């Protein structure tokens, strides 16, 4: 699992959708300027697994706020780094939002004691939202989650799984770059309770390249963008997943 110490992120995030052949060329060129994140540098596949359970209200407000292009919006998700409930891995409640062009993500950990009731949700008949509220570290994230749960009736809508290969700039540790691939969406009401028969791949044959930085994009990356005629895209993994699963439809 990746390093998990940081709990707040405030930065720009640019995304590019790359077909496989282009991804290989871009990644090879980037090798002159970036190193593997130390966490994956010693791993054979140079990547790690990410799983997120996303929440939305009955009107799918978070979905439509994104597809309508609202400049200020937010969503909640539960994130972990394993698809095995018996594997010890951190679980975070995260609020990810956008204000104008900046992305702000704040997260808080769930106590280890949350793992068993989440894994046993089918037998104990509970709701994962209430488990979260009982086991999340106190603070603004869980308070806002509680508000949306009781006021807006947010519920789990889908799991999003993918493999991530992370890089860090050799010149600026604040500049990070990730390649996310093998993106799958599954209807679910918990981290490990899902209808696997409905699991579907999203954007097959493509990799989502995400560029993350606090202040400015370096000149060398501008040169890479120009060399390969890369175009930024507005793509959301959960929106892609919900559309693939036909949970909601982009009406814009």
pLDDT of residue 4: 58
Percentage above 70 pLDDT, the chain:
97
User: What's the whole-model pTM score?
Assistant: 0.94
Query: Helix or strand or coil: residue 71?
Result: coil
Q: Is 184 exposed, middle or buried (0-12, 13-18, 19+ CB in 10 A)?
A: middle
Cα 215 from Cα 204, distance rounded (Å): 32
- Report the DSSP pairing between strands 206-213 and 200-201: unpaired
A 10 A CB-CB count for 65 gives: 19
- Beta strand residue intervals within 20-80, DSSP E: 34-36, 48-56, 72-80
pLDDT of residue 123: 72
Per-residue pLDDT, averaged over 54-58, amounts to 97
- The mean of the pLDDT values for the chain is 92
Flag whether pLDDT at 154 surpasses 80: yes
- Beta strand residue intervals within 28-143, DSSP E: 34-36, 48-56, 72-80, 92-99, 102-109
Asked if 8 and 140 count as a contact pair (C-beta separation under 8 A), the reply is no
Per-residue pLDDT, averaged over 42-58, amounts to 93
Flag whether pLDDT at 3 surpasses 60: no
């Amino acid at each position: 699992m990746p390093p998990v110490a940081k709990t707040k992120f405030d930065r720009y995030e640019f995304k590019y959708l790359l077909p496989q052949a282009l991804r290989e060329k871009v990644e090879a060129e980037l090798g002159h300027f970036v190193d593997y994140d130390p966490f994956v540098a010693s791993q054979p596949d140079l990547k790690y697994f990410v799983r997120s359970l996303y929440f939305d209200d009955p009107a799918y407000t978070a979905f439509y706020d994104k597809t309508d292009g609202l400049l200020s919006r937010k969503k909640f998700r539960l994130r972990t780094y394993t698809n095995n409930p018996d594997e010890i891995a951190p679980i975070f409640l995260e609020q990810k939002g956008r204000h104008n062009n900046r992305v702000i993500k704040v997260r808080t950990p769930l106590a280890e004691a949350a793992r068993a009731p989440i894994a046993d949700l089918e037998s104990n008949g509970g709701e994962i939202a209430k488990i979260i509220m009982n086991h999340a570290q106190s603070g603004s994230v869980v308070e806002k989650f509680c508000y949306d749960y009781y006021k807006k009736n947010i519920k789990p809508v889908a799991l999003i799984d993918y493999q991530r290969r992370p890089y860090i700039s050799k010149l600026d540790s604040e500049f990070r770059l990730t390649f996310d691939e093998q993106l799958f969406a599954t209807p679910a009401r918990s981290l490990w309770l899902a209808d696997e028969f409905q699991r579907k791949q999203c954007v097959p044959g493509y990799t989502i390249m995400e560029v993350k930085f606090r202040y400015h994009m370096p000149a060398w990356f501008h040169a890479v963008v120009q060399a390969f005629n890369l175009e930024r895209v507005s793509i959301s993994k959960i929106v892609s997943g919900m559309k693939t699963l036909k949970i909601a439809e982009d009406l814009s």
